[in-house]
Amino acid sequence: MRSRFHSDRRLTVRMGLTLFLLGLLYVGFVAALIVLLRSWVLVAVLVGALFVAQFWFSDRIAVFAMRGRPVAREEYPELHAVVDRLCALADLPRPVVAVSAMDMPNAFATGRSPDHAVVCVTTGLLRRLEPAELEGVLAHELSHVAHKDVAVITVASFLGVVAGLVVRFAFYSQIFGGGRRDQNTAIVFAAVLGVSAAVYALSFLLIRALSRYRELAADRAAALLTGRPSALAAALTKVSGEIARIPTKDLRTAQAFNAFYFTPATGREPGIERFFSTHPPLGQRLEQLGRISLELGEAAGPGKAG
């Protein structure tokens, strides 16, 4: 069953291209590890176990890490009502609804498929947004589920996670066991460290480029589904402003999950680092919503109503 969220062919192409490039990188990375470590069994078991863990349990890990928990309809009836209405409107399976006890106003969606998805909002978001603004944010998150880009980001992130773990392992092994290694072993570890660092850097850039576009696609799909791009723009402006007032030390835990959030937990607009950001600049998102608002206004203008 296809959802009624606005499809985005450019997003689909970008997801496919990113997965293809990361797949090539992944094959090369595994081959390099096998050659360097001289044990394809060890590499296969390690990589396979990590992939299964991340793909099947990514939703639970993310919700747990952000201090979230599934909530019953009786606890948050208004939140459940908005999710129910949007899922019915979009013809989308209903996700698990979760709430995180954090003052930082934000939301995220995660899960390996529309049938196994979680949408989580923070108590800070619920306290600050008006009903129409909350609907826009939830529509944005549900569009990630409908577009399946949540699953793609989860899979795409896997290679970077593995490479990062290998870098850490090699680094700490050199520190705590360097005196017990011969020169050949040191060369092997240096090679593993170099390959892993290169793979991590390339996967980092590919994922960030995809992440920035998928946020624009989600804004666009949410605005067209609800028919109220101005409400989503108001939510973006309000949430970005509120996050900027939260102390940086309170945002550090959340920053590891920036790729999944409605707005990044950075507390400021990026400068040159926008090329490495998980989200496009706020101005670009608001500009797009402004164009959609004009388009919808023209479509509903005199003589154009259905």
**Taking a C-beta distance cutoff of 8 angstroms, is the pair 19, 155 a contact?**
yes
Alpha carbons 33 and 258: distance in angstroms, whole number: 29
Three-state SS at 298: helix
Highest averaged pLDDT of the listed ranges 109-123, 216-230, 286-300:
216-230
pLDDT band at 303 (very low <50, low <70, confident <90, very high): very low
Question: In the 8-state DSSP scheme, what is residue 109?
Answer: E
Alpha carbons 127 and 122: distance in angstroms, whole number: 9
pLDDT band at 248 (very low <50, low <70, confident <90, very high): low
pLDDT above 80 for 64 = no
pLDDT above 70 for 174 = no
Question: In the 8-state DSSP scheme, what is residue 73?
Answer: T
pLDDT band at 228 (very low <50, low <70, confident <90, very high): very high
Q: How far is CA 272 from CA 163, 181, 236, 240, 276, in A?
A: 25, 42, 21, 19, 8
More confident site: 301 or 184: 184
Mean pLDDT, rounded, of the chain: 79
CA atoms within 13 A on the CB side of 234: 14
CA atoms within 13 A on the CB side of 286: 11
Three-state SS at 100: strand
Query: 217: which residues sit within 8 A by CB, 6+ positions away?
Result: 8, 10, 11, 143, 147, 149
Q: Supply the pLDDT for residue 289.
A: 95
Q: Name which of 230, 209, 215, 226 is nearest 285 in CA terms.
A: 215
Examine the residue annotation and report whether 287 is marked as an active-site residue of this protein: no
Highest averaged pLDDT of the listed ranges 73-82, 163-172, 277-286:
73-82
Alpha carbons 245 and 76: distance in angstroms, whole number: 26
Highest averaged pLDDT of the listed ranges 245-254, 258-267, 280-289, 295-304:
280-289
Sign of the four-CA dihedral 73, 75, 76, 78: positive
Q: Supply the pLDDT for residue 189.
A: 67
144 is in an annotated binding site: yes
Average pLDDT, integer, range 219-243 = 93
140 is in an annotated binding site: yes
Q: Supply the pLDDT for residue 254.
A: 62
Which entry of 133, 135, 141, 242 is annotated as an active-site residue?
141
116 is in an annotated binding site: no
More confident site: 217 or 49: 217
Q: How far is CA 40 from CA 85, 152, 187, 190, in A?
A: 50, 26, 19, 19
Question: Token match 């069953």: residue?
Answer: 1
More confident site: 202 or 96: 96
Strand partners, 98: 70, 120
**Taking a C-beta distance cutoff of 8 angstroms, is the pair 211, 278 a contact?**
yes
Q: Supply the pLDDT for residue 176.
A: 46
Segment 103-127, tens digit of pLDDT: 889 999 988 788 888 999 999 999 9
pLDDT above 80 for 197 = no
